[in-house]
Amino acid sequence: MTTERNEPWREALRKSMKAKERTDIPRVKMPELAPDVRSRNFEEVNRGLTAEQALQEAKRCLDCPDAPCMAGCPVEIDIPTFIKNIERGNFPEAAKTLKATSALPAVCGRVCPQETQCESQCTYLKLKKEAVAIGYLERFAADRLADNDNHNNQSNHKNNSSDIKVAVVGSGPAGLSFAGDMAKLGYTVTVFEALHEIGGVLKYGIPEFRLPNTVVDVEIEHLQHLGVKFEKNCIIGKTLSQSDLDDMGFKGIFVASGAGLPNFMHIPGENLNGVLSSNEYLTRVNLMEARKTEADTPVWLGKRVAVIGGGNTAMDSVRVARRLGAEQAIIVYRRSEEEMPARVEEVKHAKEEGIIFLNLYNPIEYIGDEQGRVKAMVLQKMTLGEPDASGRRSPVPIEGATETIEVDEVIVSVGVSPNPLIPSAFKGLEVSRKGTIVVNQDTLQTDLQTVFAGGDIVRGGATVILAMGDGRRAAAAMHKKLAANQ
């Protein structure tokens, strides 16, 4: 059988350029805004590859017959084919390959942790060289599609084989990915979103300097062209109940309501003014224009801002604080940099922007002034012990070693828990001790016959690409079930 991956043009390309010539090409560097410029504005930091850079980087791909990179991609993008299409200069075809399995390639090209996914499987690593920049190339091809009329032509893929209605709860990456696949299969898909913006964390969490809203909007428009309907400001479990959805004729429901409930540390002083969650801080800045002093609910523009945590959310918060004028924007993290869950690129960018890292410190108390506003924090010095359940070395307090530092704002970014509304509003759902919805691991079906679930509401806080992979798997399983019932 001739599959796309063993077509004759591939062989011709392989022969036209010897592996040695390919492996001698250095990995491309992503053009970036200079740190002193970008740390004062919200413009996108990574500027994207030029066509010349993309063509050059695409040449590095060795076109491995077993494509190990694909094993690292939860949505199974045909990576060698899209890269070869870039190498041939056929950018629309490269984008089409991406869109065949990913609803959000322009998003994933910007925020996926490729270093632990597709790029971690690249053959170059075995050669002790840098992996092919798959993420940069994905962004390049996806952005070409967005710029191109072809984008809307691609959208006319809707297969009108069925008019069965399915509902999606939540418009984050899991919900959008599910909606795209189901629309392509011909279902009538409605996405219900509690907020006034579509996109979940992509809009309310990740700031514009990493993921511009316009990029997310283009992907959403693509879904609208496929026929997906969006209902904003609609809280399932409040505005509409599960039985309302049944009465409206939805034959299947995919719950993708995410993990937007912030965790706190429950230490003295956490209720002081000026101590808030990163969830509140980022949502207000990203969705409510709170960085403007004339906004209805402006955020405090702290000068000495401490962000507690070491994940992507913490890095985003501290970099926002810097952009909003913090003279000292500080990360306080209880382990060392090696254990930080944030993407490597985010940590690098944060350092370049002058963020101060207090690693191996943990807050134990916040101290307020007479008006009840935070003015200082007491930090416990930590060391590293044995690995814990996460596989990372555990933080252990050094007895008697504390320090007090002045702060005028604290943003707590120590993880999130599942949004509790759906698990309590949908009677009969099995829910874990952590509040996640329990599903069949293969089909993502819940205990309720018509209800499937995926993304952070099932995994707890995870990643965009894992949420999207869940959306795809749930769509395939729900389709199989609905088709069997017909």
Ligand X SMILES: Cc1cc2nc3c(=O)[nH]c(=O)nc-3n(C[C@H](O)[C@H](O)[C@H](O)COP(=O)(O)OP(=O)(O)OC[C@H]3O[C@@H](n4cnc5c(N)ncnc54)[C@H](O)[C@@H]3O)c2cc1C
**Residues within the interface to ligand X (CB under 6 A):** 111-113, 169-175, 192-195, 200-201, 205-206, 235-237, 256-258, 260, 282, 312-313, 316, 343, 419, 421-422, 455-457, 461-465, 467
> Least distance from C-beta 257 to ligand X, angstroms?
3
Residue 394 DSSP SS3: strand
Residue 154 C-beta-side C-alpha neighbours within 13 Å: 26
Length of the chain: 486
Residue in this structure with the two tokens 């399932």, named with its chain if needed: 236
Beta carbon nearer to ligand X, 142 or 282: 282
Distances (CA, A) of 358 to 59, 309, 352, 382, 430: 41, 10, 15, 11, 40
> Least distance from C-beta 398 to ligand X, angstroms?
30
> Least distance from C-beta 96 to ligand X, angstroms?
24
Beta carbon nearer to ligand X, 376 or 453: 453
Secondary structure (DSSP) of 190-253 = EEE-SSSSSSTHHHHTS-TTTS-HHHHHHHHHHHHHTT-EEE-S--BTTTB-HHHHHHTTEEEE
User: In this structure, are strands 261-262 and 416-417 parallel, antiparallel, or unpaired?
Assistant: antiparallel
> Least distance from C-beta 170 to ligand X, angstroms?
3
> Least distance from C-beta 311 to ligand X, angstroms?
8
Q: Which helix (H) or strand (E) holds 130?
A: none
Distances (CA, A) of 264 to 15, 167, 389: 58, 33, 20
**Contact (CB, 8 A) for 298 and 292:** yes
Beta carbon nearer to ligand X, 13 or 30: 30
Beta carbon nearer to ligand X, 199 or 274: 199
Question: What's the CA gap between 317 and 209, in Å, rounded?
Answer: 12
Beta carbon nearer to ligand X, 205 or 302: 205
> Least distance from C-beta 185 to ligand X, angstroms?
20
| Region of residue 372 (phi > 0: left; psi between -120 and 50: alpha; otherwise: beta) | left
Quote the Cα angle for 198-321-112, to 5°.
50
Residues contacting residue 144 through CB under 8 Å, at least 6 positions apart? 91, 92, 94, 95
Beta carbon nearer to ligand X, 378 or 438: 438
Residues contacting residue 309 through CB under 8 Å, at least 6 positions apart? 278, 331, 332, 333, 412, 413, 414, 415
Beta carbon nearer to ligand X, 332 or 464: 464
Beta carbon nearer to ligand X, 203 or 479: 203
Beta carbon nearer to ligand X, 281 or 357: 281
> Least distance from C-beta 124 to ligand X, angstroms?
22
Closest CA to 207 of 83, 69, 66, 353: 353
> Least distance from C-beta 168 to ligand X, angstroms?
9
> Least distance from C-beta 295 to ligand X, angstroms?
20
**Contact (CB, 8 A) for 421 and 457:** no
